[in-house]
């Protein structure tokens, strides 16, 4: 994929209009097909991925069936509290291990009693003759897990797992973070692209009192400037939007390889991390972690969108009920008529693009440069993995497991401020490990 080229006016198509498609069908498939042994799936498997929230697997609780990257697995905690992720079908005759018994330092199949530990070792085969060593020759599919920051992460790739990146949001203690996840009926990629597509915010998410005087005025021009740049971890986006009171809103948001975003979401004392994890090619879990660096979390406020979800992390307003869009609300209350919940608004927009968006039919504008840069990086990384090279932002050196240049920022400054220089100074302070605030 060539580097993005912008027309002389800074807008319009990124490729000659005779060839207005942005991705080829093959490129789109490389990015969105994620099963085992696919190019896109092989890239995602080079990184730790969330398999569940910790709260889904309480100590002493039932095993949890998990579909992750098109693989059917079962997550359980052994009697020591250690999480294990195994192939869901028993190595004996294929029974579903999520119905198994958690006992005797492992997970025991209810069909004939075979017992597995978290490493996939078969510890017992009670139907075999006494003294049989058959169990020693059975090795069940098992993936390494680590529990950090309220998430259970798994590594589905080959070889020695890399380090779990020491992101700030994974270090926050429970009182300073709020974790949830939301089911999304679409490819992980298009939802993640929405995180760097900031120009949608004052449209899709506009409700009365948020982003301007009234939803009906949202069709005014949005004078937002977005400047993406490549970094070691992914893509940083500097953003500026003028406000009506002689100030400008500035932001720094980040795409982190290969399916994570770190965005301000209106926070100064922390940020929101959004991890879009494929269930399969056409659905994913959106894991969201909000955290504070210093203040305890207001759990009631942070959790209020859970009121819009079922206990199994599905949105009450969803594709099946057309998100309960309200045309009356659109006249004065909410631009999209989808209520007040960001999650519902985003789901309507990204699921509406189709299970896998056909990116051969897009017409990208100047505000889509970050999306193009992300796709370029992902396609290059897929090529690296296919060629046997290490994927970018895979961390193996403990001394390199910190990310001072990964700054998430939001600040309103006077319009006379050189906002680029202002944000660059914040990044430089962060890199020098000085508090940028």
Binding interface with ligand FES (CB under 6 A): 90, 92-95, 109, 111-114
Instruction: Give which of Fe ion, ligand FES, none residue 90 binds (C-beta under 5 to 8 Å, depending on kind).
Output: ligand FES
* Contact partner, 235, from Fe ion, ligand FES, none, Cβ < 5-8 Å per class: none
Residue 211 touches which of Fe ion, ligand FES, none (Cβ within 5-8 Å per kind): none
The pair of structure tokens assigned to 307 is 């009121």
- Contacted by 281, from Fe ion, ligand FES, none: CB < 5 to 8 Å by type: none
Q: Give the number of other Cβ atoms within 10 Å of residue 342's Cβ.
A: 16
Provide the phi-psi class of 146: left if phi over 0, else alpha when psi is between -120 and 50, else beta.
Answer: beta
CB of 249 to ligand FES, least distance (A): 58
Q: Which of Fe ion, ligand FES, none is residue 429 near (CB under 5 to 8 Å by kind)?
A: none
Using only C-alpha atoms, the chain has a radius of gyration, in whole angstroms, of 23
Q: Which CB atom, from 47 or from 178, has the smaller least distance to Fe ion?
A: 178
Residue 307 beta carbon to ligand FES: minimum distance, rounded to whole angstroms: 41
Q: Which does 346 bind (CB under 5 to 8 A by kind): Fe ion, ligand FES, none?
A: Fe ion
Q: For the CB of residue 67, give the shortest distance to ligand FES in the complex, in Å.
A: 20
| Residue whose C-alpha is closest to residue 237's, from 407, 377, 376, 392 | 407
Shortest Å distance, C-beta 93 to ligand FES: 4
Out of ligand FES, Fe ion, none, which partner does residue 382 contact, by CB within 5 to 8 A per kind?
A: none
Q: Pick the closer one to Fe ion by CB: 241 or 346.
A: 346
Interacting residue ranges for Fe ion, rule: CB under 5 A: 346
User: Which residue, 24 or 132, has its beta carbon nearer to ligand FES?
Assistant: 132
The angle subtended at Cα 277 by Cα 386 and Cα 100, nearest 5°, is 105
Nearer to ligand FES, 53 or 91 (CB): 91
Token pair belonging to 49? 């991925």
Strands 247-256 and 409-414: antiparallel
Q: How far apart are CA 227 and CA 159, in angstroms?
A: 37
CA geometry: angle 20, 35, 140, nearest 5 deg: 170
Least Å distance between CB 336 and Fe ion?
10
* Cis ω for the linkage preceding 258 (within 30 of 0): yes
Q: Which does 329 bind (CB under 5 to 8 A by kind): ligand FES, Fe ion, none?
A: none
Q: Cβ of residue 342: shortest distance to Fe ion, in angstroms?
A: 6
CA–CA dist 246, 370 (Å, integer): 27
Sign of CA dihedral 390, 391, 396, 397: positive
Cα→Cα distances 306→278, 310, 315, 320, 359, Å: 21, 8, 9, 19, 32
Residue 4 or 87 having the CB closest to ligand FES: 87
Q: How far apart are CA 273 and CA 265, in angstroms?
A: 9
Q: How far is the CB of 102 from ligand FES (least distance, A)?
A: 15
Cβ proximity to Fe ion: between 74 and 274 the closer is 274
End-to-end CA, the chain: 38
Nearer to ligand FES, 94 or 213 (CB): 94
CB of 204 to Fe ion, least distance (A): 6
Task: Count Cβ atoms within 10 A of the Cβ of residue 301 and give its class: 0-12 exposed, 13-18 middle, 19 or more buried.
Answer: exposed
- What span, in angstroms and rounded, lies between the C-alpha atoms of 354 and 279? 16
CB-nearer residue toward ligand FES: 95 or 225:
95
């Amino acid at each position: 994929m060539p580097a993005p080229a912008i027309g002389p006016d800074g807008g319009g198509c990124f490729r000659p209009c005779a060839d207005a498609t942005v991705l080829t069908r093959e490129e789109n498939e490389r990015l969105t097909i994620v099963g085992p042994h696919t190019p896109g799936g092989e890239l995602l498997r080079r990184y730790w991925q969330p398999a569940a929230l910790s709260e889904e697997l309480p100590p002493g609780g039932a095993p949890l069936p998990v579909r992750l990257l098109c693989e059917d697995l079962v997550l359980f905690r052994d009697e020591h509290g250690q999480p294990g992720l195994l192939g869901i079908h028993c190595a004996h005759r294929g029974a579903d291990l999520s119905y198994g018994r958690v006992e005797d330092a492992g997970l025991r199949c209810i069909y004939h009693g075979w017992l597995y530990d978290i490493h996939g070792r078969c510890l017992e085969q009670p139907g075999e003759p006494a003294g049989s060593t058959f169990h020693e020759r059975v090795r069940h599919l098992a993936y390494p897990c680590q529990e950090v920051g309220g998430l259970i992460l798994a590594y589905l790739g080959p070889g020695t797992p890399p380090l779990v990146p020491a992101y700030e949001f994974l270090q926050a203690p429970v009182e300073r973070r709020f974790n949830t996840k939301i089911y999304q009926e679409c490819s992980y990629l298009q939802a993640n692209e929405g995180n760097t597509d900031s120009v949608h915010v004052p449209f899709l998410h506009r409700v009365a009192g948020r982003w301007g005087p009234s939803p009906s005025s949202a069709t005014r021009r949005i004078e937002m400037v977005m400047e993406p740049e490549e970094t070691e971890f992914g893509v940083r986006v500097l953003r500026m939007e003028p406000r009506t009171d002689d100030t400008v809103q500035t932001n720094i948001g980040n795409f982190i390889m290969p399916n994570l975003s770190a965005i301000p979401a209106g926070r100064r004392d922390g940020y929101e991390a959004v991890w879009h994890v494929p269930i399969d090619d056409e659905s994913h879990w959106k894991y969201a972690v909000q955290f504070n660096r210093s203040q305890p979390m207001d759990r009631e406020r942070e959790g209020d969108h859970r009121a819009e979800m079922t206990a199994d992390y599905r949105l009450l307003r969803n594709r099946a009920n057309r998100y309960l869009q309200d045309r009356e609300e659109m006249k004065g209350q909410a631009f999209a008529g989808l209520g007040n919940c960001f999650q519902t608004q985003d789901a309507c927009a990204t699921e509406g693009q189709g299970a896998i968006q056909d990116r051969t039919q897009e017409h990208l504008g100047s505000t889509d440069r970050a999306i193009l840069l992300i796709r370029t990086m992902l396609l290059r990384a897929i090529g690296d993995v296919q060629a046997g090279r290490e994927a970018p932002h895979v961390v193996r050196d403990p001394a390199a497991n910190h990310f001072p240049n990964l700054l998430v920022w939001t600040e309103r400054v006077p319009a006379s401020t050189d906002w680029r220089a202002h944000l660059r100074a914040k990044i430089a302070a962060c890199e020098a490990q000085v508090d940028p605030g």
